[in-house]
Homo-oligomer: A and B are copies of this chain.
């Protein structure tokens, strides 16, 4: 399921500057390097399950992941994504609760795991680092609250438009202008919180109206202005 690989070196890791770890001193980053464990996960592998107690936080070195909750009928609801430089599982470690989501690799992924105690000690002793973590969790909280409003008051059509904008913003585009992530229709549905069929119908409607181009699972936004208008932000 996961295997050890040659490890990125924390104190000059390329993704360090993207994450809250950029606030660590050289010395702290060096000690981090000694304590971490680095592993490769294949596409589809589960990193951890909702409800489980976790040993530490993960820093994404390579690849993309989805974090989702599972509903009463087994349906997934994607809560957020992660990409290189992101931390995952920090919520669980910092709050001392069990994981509130399942983390799964969307493609081959390399993760470094930092033991909870090491992470908590850093947070406790380096106030720049702890303030960065506070900012991180508060920002995510703001985003979750925003999404609550959307789910409660917007139509599926509006939410799909908004989801496309979010994906574009977060994953950016490849050389051909397609959003740089590959998701099934079902996965898009579990971002938006609706049925797969609804996503299919709406996407082909967007296509018919010249708002998007579809090429297999790849999506290109052709008319940003109109999508933004539909999203009703």
Binding site for B on A (CB under 8 A): 69, 71-73, 75, 77, 79, 90-92, 94-97, 100-101, 123-125, 127, 130-131, 133-135, 137-142, 144-149, 151-154, 193-194, 232
Chain B hits for A146, CB < 8 A:
69, 100
25 residue pairs bridging A and B, Cβ less than 8 Å apart: A69-B149, A71-B153, A71-B154, A72-B154, A72-B232, A73-B153, A77-B153, A79-B145, A91-B138, A91-B141, A94-B135, A94-B138, A95-B141, A101-B145, A123-B134, A124-B131, A125-B127, A127-B127, A130-B130, A134-B134, A137-B141, A144-B144, A148-B151, A151-B151, A151-B193
Chain B hits for A193, CB < 8 A:
148, 151-153
Contact B91 A153 (CB under 8 A): no
Q: Find A142's partner among B73, B91, B124 (CB 8 Å cutoff).
A: B91
Chain B hits for A123, CB < 8 A:
131, 134
Q: Roughly how many angstroms separate A149 CA and B193 CA in the complex, as a whole number?
A: 8
Chain B hits for A135, CB < 8 A:
94-96
Q: Closest B-chain residue to A138, C-beta based?
A: B95
Contact A145 B144 (CB under 8 A): yes
Contact B148 A79 (CB under 8 A): yes
Chain B hits for A148, CB < 8 A:
69, 77, 79, 144, 147-148, 151, 193
Given A94-B134, A144-B148, the answer on whether A153 and B100 have CB atoms closer than 8 Å is: no
Q: Roughly how many angstroms separate A152 CA and B73 CA in the complex, as a whole number?
A: 12
Chain B hits for A140, CB < 8 A:
141
**How far apart are A183's CB and chain B's nearest CB, in angstroms?**
16
**How far apart are A81's CB and chain B's nearest CB, in angstroms?**
14
Q: Closest B-chain residue to A97, C-beta based?
A: B142
Q: Roughly how many angstroms separate A101 CA and B145 CA in the complex, as a whole number?
A: 9
Chain B hits for A100, CB < 8 A:
142, 145-146
Contact A71 B149 (CB under 8 A): yes
**How far apart are A111's CB and chain B's nearest CB, in angstroms?**
20
Q: Find A77's partner among B96, B97, B101, B152 (CB 8 Å cutoff).
A: B152
**How far apart are A137's CB and chain B's nearest CB, in angstroms?**
4
Q: Roughly how many angstroms separate A160 CA and B6 CA in the complex, as a whole number?
A: 51
Q: Closest B-chain residue to A142, C-beta based?
A: B100
Chain B hits for A75, CB < 8 A:
153
